[in-house]
Structure 1
Amino acid sequence: MFLYLSKLLPLFFYPLGLACILIIFALVTLWKKPRQASTALTIALIVLLLASNGWVSRSLVRSLEFQNIPQQLPNADAIVVLGGATKPAFPPRPSVDLSEESDRMFYAAQLYHQKKAPFVILSGGRIDWSGAGPSESADMAIIMQQLGVPETAIIQEPDSLNTYENAVNVKKILQARQFNQVLLVTSAMHMPRSLAIFNKLRISAIPAPTDFLASGDMQYISNSSEASLLNLLPEAERLYQSTRALKEYVGLVVYRLRGWL
Structure 2
Amino acid sequence: MDENNAECRPIDYYAQQLFDYHFLKQELKKADCIFVLGSHDPSVADYASQLYHEGFAPYIIFSGGVIRPVGELRNTTPKSEAEAFFDIAVEKGVPAEAIILENNATNTGENFIFTRKLLKEKELDFKSFILVQKPYMIRRTYATAKVQFADFDFTVSALPDTYDSYITRCIENNISKERVISNMTGDLQRLKIYPEKGFLIAMQIPAEVWNAYEKLIEMGFEGRMAN
Aligned to 2:37: 82
Pairs within 5 Å for 1:135-150:
135-150=80-95
Q: Across the two proteins, how many residue pairs are aligned to each other?
A: 175
In 1, distance between residues paired with 2:52 and 2:157?
A: 12
1:58-108 Cα deviation digits (max 9, x unpaired): 11221212x22x53x2211110111113xxxxxxxxxxxxxxx22211111
3-state DSSP class of the match of 1:170?
A: helix
The one-letter code matched in structure 2 to 1:179 is: F
- Superposition TM-score, scaled by structure 1 size: 0.59
Quick check: 1:145–1:151 contact (8 Å CA) kept in 2?
Answer: yes
Q: Are 1:168 and 2:113 an aligned pair?
A: yes
The one-letter code matched in structure 1 to 2:60 is: V
In 2, distance between residues paired with 1:123 and 1:193?
A: 16
Quick check: 1:187–1:211 contact (8 Å CA) kept in 2?
Answer: no
Aligned to 2:51: 111
CA drift at 1:211: 6.4
Work out which of the two has the higher radius of gyration on C-alpha atoms and give 1 or 2. Answer: 1
Quick check: 1:183–1:205 contact (8 Å CA) kept in 2?
Answer: yes
- Superposition TM-score, scaled by structure 2 size: 0.68
3-state DSSP class of the match of 1:62?
A: helix
Quick check: 1:53–1:238 contact (8 Å CA) kept in 2?
Answer: no
Pairs within 5 Å for 1:17-166:
53-65=11-23, 67-68=24-25, 70-71=26-27, 73-85=28-40, 101-126=41-66, 133-166=78-111
3-state DSSP class of the match of 1:148?
A: coil
* Gap regions ≥5 residues in structure 1: 1-45, 86-100, 217-236
Quick check: 1:189–1:212 contact (8 Å CA) kept in 2?
Answer: no
Identity of aligned residues (%): 26
Aligned to 1:260: 199
In 2, distance between residues paired with 1:151 and 1:187?
A: 23
3-state DSSP class of the match of 1:190?
A: helix
Runs of 4+ in 1 over 3 A off after TM superposition: 130-134, 237-242
